[in-house]
Amino acid sequence: MPGRNIKLIIEYEGSNYAGWQIQKEQVTVQGLLTEAVTKITGCEVSITGAGRTDAGVHALGQTANFRIDHRLEPERYAEAMNYYLPDDIRVQSSTEVADSFNSRFDAVWRRYRYLLSSRRTAIFRKLRWERRGELDYGLLRQGADLILGEHDFRPFCVVASQKEDNRCRIYQSRWYRWGDLMVYEIRGNRFLHSMVRSLVGAMVNLARTDQDENPHNLTLARFADILQSGNEERIVFTAPAHGLYLRSVGYGKDKSE
CA distances from 80 to 34, 41, 74, 92, 250 (A): 13, 10, 10, 11, 26
Pair type for strands 167-178 and 129-130: unpaired
Angstrom distance (rounded) from CA 251 to CA 256: 11
CB atoms within 10 A of CB 78: 18
How far apart are the C-alpha atoms of 242 and 129, rounded to whole Å?
Answer: 7
* Residue tagged active-site, from 54, 88, 212, 225: 54
**Catalytic (active site) residue 54:** yes
Strands 181-188 and 109-117: antiparallel
> 238, 198 in Cβ contact below 8 A?
yes
Residues tagged active-site: 54
